[in-house]
Every structure is written in C-alpha cells, then in structure tokens.
Amino acid sequence: MTEELLSLPVPHVPAGDRGVSWLRATVVRFSNDTEHTRRRALTTKLIENVRATTLGELADALNLPGSLDDIALIAPSYQPHEPVTEAADAAVERLAHRHDEETAARIGLLVQAWSATHALAEHLRTGNPAPPVPITRRATEDGVIEVSLAGHPFGHGPRACPGQQLATTIAKNMAFRAMHHQDEPLVLPNAWDYASAAALHAAGFRAIGTTSLGVAAAHGITDGMGLAGEQTVALAWLLTDLPCPVTVDLESGFGAAPAEVAELVAGLGAAGVNLEDGRPHGLATPEEQVKLISAVKEHAPGVFLNARVDTHWQGIALAETADRAKRYVDAGADGIFVPGLTEPRDIEALASLAPLNVLAQQRTPAELGNLGVKRISTGSLLFRAALQHTVATAKAVRDGGVPQAFSYAEVQELISPGTRSDAG
C-alpha cells in the first residue's frame, strides 16, 4: 500500500518569484509530471560527478561556497507545510544570484542534503533504525495525506533524491566523528570480511573497523609489509553497503605516495581510516608522516583520520610518542591511536591531545573513559579468537562434541541485501 501512495503526486505549491516561495515552486522536490522529469534530469546532472566527504565540499561542488549558514536558515522553512521566516527568505535571496531552475536545483540539493545528513547522522550515532525523513506527503482526491516511511530505508521510493548516496556518505562521516566526542568511549570491533562485519553490526555495534592482520592473513599475506592493499580496498568497497560507519586500516598506505593515498581515501567511501607511522622495516620520520596526513586531510576532510603512533610498543619513550602525536594532530589528524598504551598516567597524558584510541585491555570501557580514552579497538583480537575457535570446533567434532555456531539461515540473513540498505 505504501508503494502505491508514494507513486501519487506531491501536493501543489503556489508560484513565487522570490525567497522560499520561489525555491519551493522551482525545485524538483515539489513538482510533478513533465516538469518533474525535466528538473530531475537537471538535478541528477549537477551531482553525477561530485565526490564529497563533507557538506562544505558539496557546497563548493554546487558553486555555493560558504553557504551552509544560509542553508541552515532555509532548511526549517523548506517544506511547504512549514512556516517561512524572514531569515529564510533573505538567505534564499543571498544565494539566488539568478532565479532560474539550475540555481534552484543547486540550493534545493544542498538544503535537502543538509537536513538529511544531520538527521541520519544522529540516527546512526544513537543506533536509531528509523529513516531520517519519517513521513512524506502526497496529494489524493480527498486532499493531502501523510505517508509513513517507517520501516523503509533512507532514499526509498520512486521520488528518492538522486543525491542519496552522497548524503549517506556524508552522514556516516558526521556520525563517526561524533562517536569520538561522547561521554562513553566508542567500542570499535574489527572485522576481516563482510560476514564478520555484518554479524558485528547485527549484534548492536554502531561502527565497524577492519583489522589489517585479519584481512592480510585471510588472504595468505603477511601483515604490516604493505602487501594487502588490493584486498583491503576490495573489502572496504564491500563494507560501504553496511548501514553503519566503517573505518579501514590502511597500514601506512601500502607504500603509495601521499598524493595517491589521499586520492584513495577520498574515493574509498569509508567514514574513517587508520594510517600508521610504522613501516615494513622501521618507523617513518615524523616529517614523512606529517606529509601523508596533510595530503589525506586536504583531499578527504570529512574522513576521520586516526593516526597510529607505533613508537610505544617498540619501547620508545613516551616523550617521542607525545611529540609525534602532537605533530600529527597539528597536521590534521582527527584522532590518535597508540597500540600498547596501558599505563593510566600515559593514557591521561596523551588523551588531552585529541580523541585517543587504545586497544582493548584489562580495563572496562568506563574505566578507560575516565582516563580520557574515546575509542577502544579490538584490533586483531577477534580474528585471532575466531581462528582459535575454528580449531577448537573442529577438534570438538572430531571428538564427538556438538559445538555451538550460527545456523546456516542466520548467516544467509546477515549477508542478504536487506541488511545493507537501512542507511542507504
């Protein structure tokens, strides 16, 4: 029944030549029939080659740089059932240098993206499965009705915005960043393939990371040598279908130049990446790592860059760890990851620099949170535990036991297309 209702025309909006009334009357969102077809083609063309990790980048791509403050004023008045404020009218006029369909399409795209990304990001952060737009309106012979979108993924229906994929990517980036600024630390499990990631998300984890050891070892490749780039990127592309933010362990960039790594990250579709200063045969200099971090943040500002500092578990003094961490943050890193960090005093000292990531250890998330930790990763632990459980299960079968496991149907359900589309 919902499908039939969504196919009905949208309610008519009055004509207007200025402000919000002009915008409503000129965008694809509130038009029907041939007018809708023409405007949708125009809107689709405007974003067909756009790649953005933030709303600011999207605004630049739509030739509306520096417009987000005005967009925020327009958004609450955009829907026809919402009252129009003077501030919204003035904001439209500041952005509408020409009152034509293309200008309206650019403004309308950004307004809809602004509203959708903020709502979806908050839902992703809190684990709310509801779509960011809970209802839509359609015109019937008996008047305007509200159609519930509960139970439907974002971007559902015949009139779904062509910018849905862009909005989803930006919303995941926003949500993942917000997860590093909560009172409780983000507990981030690390997967090594699609099934393990899907199972972890189904278990209630709101963001998923990858483990470089797990990905490399699953393909018969040694970890930390920069040899599993192709396999890592292939997995990253698969995981973008998950309805949650995903962060990808890129080791040190797999030996690529900073510009190449930056281009990779910008097009990867992941909400975050790990980049370490360890190299196959030692540590990079801080200057080398700063160049890498700066290049990535310049090309993909919305992707959360977790800068891993490999000094601590190599026994190098905390002072050098802190110096490197500060340099990386100054270069644009959004968070710091120091594997091997366990001493409370050391944790507290580094937690003041940026959101601090540590490996899971013999302290509860609450205890680590009290020390200033914002993210707790499982690293390769889950993969190693899975290997051990695999061997133990095989031994149990050999010895006549009946081990517990997911059923065949449960695994099929985890990887079915229906699990991939809740957030786009």
For every residue of 128-153, DSSP letters joined together read --S-SS-EEEEEETTEEEEEE-TTS-
Instruction: Look up residue 358 and give its DSSP letter.
Output: E
114, amino acid identity:
W
Task: Tell me, rounded to whole angstroms, the distance of Cα 312 from its chain centroid.
Answer: 29
Alpha helices in 352-407 (DSSP H): 365-370, 381-398
Residue 398, CA distances (Å) to 385, 387, 395, 403 in order: 20, 17, 5, 11
At 193 the three-state DSSP class reads coil
Q: Would you say 215 and 228 are in contact if contact means Cβ atoms under 8 Å apart?
A: yes
Closest CA to 296 of 274, 324, 322, 320: 274
How many whole angstroms separate alpha carbon 195 and alpha carbon 412?
Answer: 9
Residue 277: CB atoms within 10 Å = 24
Domains delineated in the chain:
2-169 (no CATH), 180-388 (3.20.20.60)
Residue with tokens 């605004």: 59
**Furthest CA-CA distance within the chain:** 80
Identify the sign of the CA torsion 193, 195, 201, 204.
negative
Q: Which two tokens stand for residue 22?
A: 């002009």
What number of residues does the chain have? 424
Q: Would you say 80 and 13 are in contact if contact means Cβ atoms under 8 Å apart?
A: yes
- According to the model, what pLDDT value does residue 419 have? 52
**Averaged in consecutive runs of 10 residues, what is the pLDDT profile of the chain (424 residues)?**
80 93 96 95 95 97 98 97 97 96 97 95 93 85 85 72 89 98 97 97 97 97 94 96 96 97 97 96 96 98 98 87 97 97 95 97 97 98 97 93 87 73 40
* Cα-based torsion angle of the residue sequence 194, 196, 197, 201 in order, rounded to the nearest 10 degrees: 130
